Structure 1
Amino acid sequence: MGIDRPNQFSDMEDADFDDSQLAYHVKDILNSVLIGENDLYNQLVGVMHRSRNLQFDEVGLLETSLTALSGAVSCLDIAHHESLLSVIFSMSLWNYRPSVMDALVELIVSMAISNGKFVDLSLGMLVSNFMPPPYFLDRLKHPRGLERKYQVTSRVHAALEKITEYVPLAPLRLLPIVLEGMPTIHRNDHAIVIYVENMLKLEGSAIGELVGGTLLMAVVDRLIDLDVSIGWDEMLEEDFCKGIFDMELLDLDQDVDYSEEDGHELHPLSCKSLAGNAIAELLDSLMVMTFSHLESCKDTGRLMEVFETLLQSFQLTVLNAHKSKFAQFVMFYACALDPENCGLRFATVLADIFVQNLHSELTRMSAVAYLASYLSRGKFLSASFVAIILKRLVDWCMEYCKTQDGDVNPKAHRVFYSGCQAIMYVLCFRMKSFMDVARLKSQLLLMPLEAILRHKLGPLKVCLPSVVQEFLRLAKAARLFTVSKTFVFDDLLESELSRAFGGLERLDMFFPFDPCLLKKSGSIIREHYVFWSTVRPKYDDKESSSDEEDIDEDFVDENEDILDDGIAGSSDEHGICLDEFDYALNKMSITPKDSFSFKFGGRFQEHTRMPSRIRPSTSPESL
């Protein structure tokens, strides 16, 4: 408002009044409204309206008025002073210098403490200051802008805690305000980052003791929202012409900062398709912020408490999320920070979900996909612990085999096949570490793996050839089976059975902890992560030739349908509708290098093997 101030009102600042006298003066102004005298009241409202680019005398008058109002809150009435309250509760701390901020915060706190009707309005005003006005966002790139950010947010949180001291139930009233005020992903990226930063700060404060769990789950939900919003379909379509879908995993990409010698599994998507993607960069920033919060929780001894909230959130939202590619690494990082507690608990819970028939089939399959990926990729997990969990999976699969007398059927036994594929996948990564320790080697040799794999349910015919082939190579080298010879596939064409389980034409299925492509959060994960390039065995032509010569003839006879180009067992024969299989069926698969080159005009190689760099899951359908 552009109301001019008569001397009668502006002299209030210059007069030799103490705070109590100023308060009495403002009380008179507020009470005058009740008898229809509005001139001074309107002038007071006009002072509150002035915000940006204040002159020195205007700053002083505003500060004085706010201080006086703090002493007159008992006279404020929602019905009679609506215009004044509306202005006060819409004021932004970001517009003022520290002295005015202090006066405004004092007024807001006084109003919340003095009158229950003002609590929600006061909390809402403070939460609105989590984010700066749009005009201020660019200033956050500069030191002075960051200084103002600290000045504002520190005062906001101090005010919230002070209100909580006097109004113990304030956190419960604050929670819905914070959740409803959370920006959408279409708002300015920097504003969302600042808002989430304040949510995490609340979670770590005394207020968080009552509502911190819900706030943290809301942050995870927002990470999921961003994750599934990344436009993978367009990226992959853009890369199709360049041969990305033939599953070639490049040895080196000159545009990437990391080489194979650094132990990184790379794909062009990591340096090209995500570069400049605003949603991916926003998700990356929020994940780094969440990682930092987890570190602070560890430093204060709260990590296990916070982890239980994360675990609950994971089971409710992340576990069965269709397109989650990166948000799950929050769990991975929490486990890496505390392997002995968080790390072991996460694996145990996933194993429990799989082996206990208390959840849907899709949830159990998703759980074992997460478990296999986690056990394979977590550098912080000991081989002994991995062996313990692996034995649980093997025992469950063996018991399942004892109760079944039927033939191969991906639809009827999909949980079983997902467990078998998980076991083989883990051993692809962990076989060497088991064989290097006599006790673990003995335990592995005693596991009934051969009985499971040779069962009439035919897991080797259903699980994806890339995982099966690599596992069998390693099993042969480790003399894992009683027979002296093992088995290989003659080509890379997936059978109808493995397609039914892994997904017809799905191109590039995934284990959930495939390499994280986000630049900043991925670099944090790296030191805790096992890359395939660091554990893969070295194969040469002689070894491949030897494999051909040493095929177990008995096993070939038993599985000759796998070795034919036609690959027996069509979906029609088993009554399988491929479209019925949800994404969770596909979470377990890794397609090998060149496995689909035939479909794009290439030719098959003689043998399949685990790719030197396992391509992160990026296909539209697997997402």
Structure 2
Amino acid sequence: EPFLIAPYDLEQYRMMVGTLDTSRTKNRDDEALYVTYLKALSEAVSKIDITYHHSLLNNIFAVRIWYLQRDTMVALLDLITRLAAVADQYLRECLQMLVNNFTPPIVERNEVPTWAVSRKKDIFSHLCGSLKTISDTVPLAPRMLRDIIDRSMPKLFDNKAKMISFVECMLGLDTDRMGDLIGAILLAKVVDLLTELDVNITWEDILQEEHDKGIFEMELEDLDADDDGDGFGQAGTKVCLGGNACAEKLDGLMVVVCEHLKSLDRQRLYKEFVILKTIFRASLLRVHRSKFAQFIMFYTCSLDPKTLGEGFAVFLTDIVTEKKEDPISRMSAVSYVGSYLSRARFISADTVVTILKKLVDWCVDYCDHQSKREATPIPNHQLFYATCQAVMYVLCFRLRSIMDYPNLKSDLFHMPFGFLFRHRLEPLKVCLPSIVNEFLRQAKDAGLVAAFVDPAAEDAIESDLSRTFGGINRLDMFFPFDPYLLKESDRYIRPNFEFWSMVKTTYSDDTDDDDDELEDLDAPEMNVGSLDDHVEIDINSDDDDLEYSMNKMSITPHHSFLHQMAMDSDGGLSMPARIRPSTSPPSRWAMSGESP
């Protein structure tokens, strides 16, 4: 109480409180006195009482360390770590103060000032060091820190600088013992933020200047784009996404996450991969509008192709073939595995053949099972057709490379494609015509088609394909690892990404540039739908609702080329490049068939 304190001591205390008030401008002498007070308080933390020293504690916990000199910052953080250890008193306030400083001062135009950028690395290092010290000292600290970070996470409409700084500092905690304690929740929060930004980038943002082009267009990727500083896909797309706030935030965060993953040692990277697989399975796998967030898995796998890259492919394949998995997850997983094996340059041909064999064997088992049952409508077999389509899609990209290895070629030619494609379910008539046409073209050139298509029947098959263009039985899918369109983070994906323009097909001449293969195809004008409406998928809903949800997952349009175009094209249809949103009405069929 004031009346119990000597007037001189009270005056000195009030002067100390005033010195610790960071709202006041300080000269050099004041700064030196500030450091002295902080060091003295560090030696007397057990004497500090919230009842008598409320103003003092308020000034301490309100400090923005970004404005402090380095010596002052070190002294303050030492005081904070000691205060946190005082039993049951200041732990939450200390942790909250440190988390509040994850974000530097944001000034004009929502940008971090230059002086703060130059100090960021040092400040983040000290903040993470203090939090680790507190967690080692106070057993309750990690759990409380998780709650504080959860409440302090940036929101969708926060500015880009705040998001990037917060996540960058937060991921600095994801190392060693601290990572073992709270690493999973930190990564989950980051992926949630990436996904939220991702789904708020509408397809209209991407397609606003391209909706009048063909549904399937070649990827006009300039492989030398990095030389002129572009390296960002097609110019029209760059313009569309360049001014999109969510895309710019997502782009910056992807850089931060990729840098974090790249900095990890092998042991820590393996732990992160296990955590990311769990997060992917629980959230990203079922997000039907995700366009870029899933590339975190792609980049992680590229850091260790043998262990992580192959592990992710097996992980996806197991979801596809596991009967206990829900239909939505299985359909999404087959889309992922097909797109992943096609686009990941770091995946070996041996791994591709191994996964293809698992998928083909599952399809054959499905056919055997269906042969014992009465015929059912096509929508009942969506997973089967999706798996067949994924197999053909992968072979469109990888058949030529597989043919270069005699043992793998032999394994491929021994797969029961003949039984599969001659089955009464007729997958060649239901899968996307552009994929089937390209697959047949390459398979015939490689001699693989002779294994399952009689020469006399080839014309009949192609005629049937032509008649299914635009039919109600067309199968649509999405390809999660389509070309990456975010400019700044593109440098992490591009070196390991297989663009269609880079693929050597079985019919291509190595001496030619195949310029004709890179020409756009004209197509009837289409209306581009938006996937803005959020769709909640309830596995326990009735069959019609489930079928509707499956249609909403598809981001491939239901429009198709005209019959005459298919007949006139010597080279067949071009492979899908940028997949467009579905605009078709929900099917009247229910996806209720039992699958093996």
Which category describes the TM-score, using the shorter chain as reference length?
Answer: 0.7 to 0.9
Counterpart in the other structure of 2:40: 68
- State the shift of 1:367 in Å: 0.5
Counterpart in the other structure of 1:193: 164
Cα deviation 1:214-251 (Å, max 9, x = unaligned): 211211121111111113324534544xx236544475
- In structure 1, which of residues 79, 83, 105 is the aligned counterpart of residue 51 of structure 2? 79
Counterpart in the other structure of 1:557: none
Give the TM-score normalised by structure 1.
Answer: 0.78
Q: Is the 8 A contact 1:265 1:615 kept in 2?
A: no
Counterpart in the other structure of 1:92: 64
Q: Is the 8 A contact 1:378 1:530 kept in 2?
A: yes
How many Å separate the matches in 2 of 1:122 and 1:607? 69
- In structure 2, which of residues 419, 439, 463 is the aligned counterpart of residue 471 of structure 1? 439
Q: Is the 8 A contact 1:49 1:87 kept in 2?
A: yes
- State the shift of 1:443 in Å: 1.6
Q: Look up the SS of the partner of 2:410 in the other structure.
A: helix
Q: Which residue type is aligned with residue 547 of structure 2?
A: E
Counterpart in the other structure of 2:523: none
Counterpart in the other structure of 1:546: none
Counterpart in the other structure of 2:503: 535
Cα deviation 1:574-605 (Å, max 9, x = unaligned): xx9799343578659588xxx74659xx9766
Q: Is the 8 A contact 1:111 1:122 kept in 2?
A: yes
How many Å separate the matches in 2 of 1:30 and 1:130? 41
For the pair shown, which has the larger CA radius of gyration, 1 or 2? 1
Residue 448 (structure 1) aligned with residue 411 (structure 2): no
Counterpart in the other structure of 1:514: 482
Q: Structure 1: state its 5+ residue gaps.
A: 1-27, 503-508, 541-575
Q: Which residue type is aligned with residue 209 of structure 1?
A: D
How many Å separate the matches in 2 of 1:150 and 1:344? 35
How many Å separate the matches in 2 of 1:159 and 1:178? 15
Moved more, 581-590 or 430-439: 581-590
Q: Is the 8 A contact 2:98 2:131 kept in 1?
A: yes
Cα deviation 1:324-357 (Å, max 9, x = unaligned): 1111111111111111111111111111111110
Moved more, 163-172 or 360-369: 163-172
Q: How does 1:103-142 map to 2 (within 5 A)?
A: 103-135=75-107, 140=112, 142=114
Q: Which residue type is aligned with residue 350 of structure 2?
A: S
Counterpart in the other structure of 1:365: 331
How many Å separate the matches in 2 of 1:517 and 1:278? 14
How many Å separate the matches in 1 of 2:155 and 2:414? 54
Give the TM-score normalised by structure 2.
Answer: 0.81
- State the shift of 1:474 in Å: 1.7
Q: Is the 8 A contact 2:132 2:173 kept in 1?
A: no
- State the shift of 1:408 in Å: 6.2
Q: Is the 8 A contact 1:252 1:260 kept in 2?
A: no
Q: Is the 8 A contact 1:533 1:613 kept in 2?
A: no
Cα deviation 1:364-408 (Å, max 9, x = unaligned): 111111011111111111111111110111111111111114446
How many Å separate the matches in 2 of 1:288 and 1:361? 33
Residue 496 (structure 1) aligned with residue 465 (structure 2): no
- In structure 1, which of residues 403, 411, 435 is the aligned counterpart of residue 403 of structure 2? 435
Moved more, 380-389 or 482-491: 482-491
- State the shift of 1:265 in Å: 9.8
Counterpart in the other structure of 1:171: 142
How many Å separate the matches in 2 of 1:153 and 1:230? 30
User: Structure 1 residues 139, 48: CA separation in 2 closer, same or farther (over 3 Å shift)?
Assistant: farther
Moved more, 109-118 or 604-613: 604-613
Counterpart in the other structure of 2:589: none
User: Structure 1 residues 477, 235: CA separation in 2 closer, same or farther (over 3 Å shift)?
Assistant: closer
Q: Is the 8 A contact 1:130 1:153 kept in 2?
A: yes
Moved more, 528-537 or 446-455: 528-537
How many Å separate the matches in 2 of 1:321 and 1:223? 12
Cα deviation 1:246-278 (Å, max 9, x = unaligned): 54447579xx9739999x994455322111222
Residue 161 (structure 1) aligned with residue 132 (structure 2): yes
Q: Look up the SS of the partner of 2:157 in the other structure.
A: coil
How many Å separate the matches in 2 of 1:259 and 1:85? 53
Moved more, 477-486 or 369-378: 477-486
How many Å separate the matches in 2 of 1:98 and 1:362? 54
Counterpart in the other structure of 2:213: 244
- State the shift of 1:184 in Å: 0.9
Counterpart in the other structure of 1:572: none
Q: Is the 8 A contact 1:137 1:190 kept in 2?
A: no
Q: Is the 8 A contact 1:339 1:381 kept in 2?
A: yes
- State the shift of 1:190 in Å: 0.9
Counterpart in the other structure of 2:225: 258
- State the shift of 1:516 in Å: 0.7
User: Structure 1 residues 166, 588: CA separation in 2 closer, same or farther (over 3 Å shift)?
Assistant: same
- Report the count of equivalent residues: 539
Q: What is the RMSD computed on CA atoms of the aligned residues? A: 3.5
Q: Which residue type is aligned with residue 122 of structure 2?
A: Q
User: Structure 1 residues 124, 105: CA separation in 2 closer, same or farther (over 3 Å shift)?
Assistant: same
User: Structure 1 residues 585, 219: CA separation in 2 closer, same or farther (over 3 Å shift)?
Assistant: same
- State the shift of 1:621 in Å: 6.1
- State the shift of 1:113 in Å: 1.7
User: Higher relative contact order by CA 8 Å / sep ≥ 6: 1 or 2?
Assistant: 2
Cα deviation 1:509-552 (Å, max 9, x = unaligned): 53111111112322221221222112253879xxxxxxxxxxxx
Counterpart in the other structure of 1:617: 579
User: Structure 1 residues 152, 190: CA separation in 2 closer, same or farther (over 3 Å shift)?
Assistant: same
User: Structure 1 residues 29, 491: CA separation in 2 closer, same or farther (over 3 Å shift)?
Assistant: farther
- In structure 1, which of residues 271, 274, 287 is the aligned counterpart of residue 254 of structure 2? 287
How many Å separate the matches in 1 of 2:35 and 2:485? 50
Counterpart in the other structure of 2:195: 224
User: Structure 1 residues 349, 597: CA separation in 2 closer, same or farther (over 3 Å shift)?
Assistant: closer
Counterpart in the other structure of 1:209: 180
How many Å separate the matches in 2 of 1:171 and 1:265? 41
Q: How does 1:584-599 map to 2 (within 5 A)?
A: 587=554, 596=560
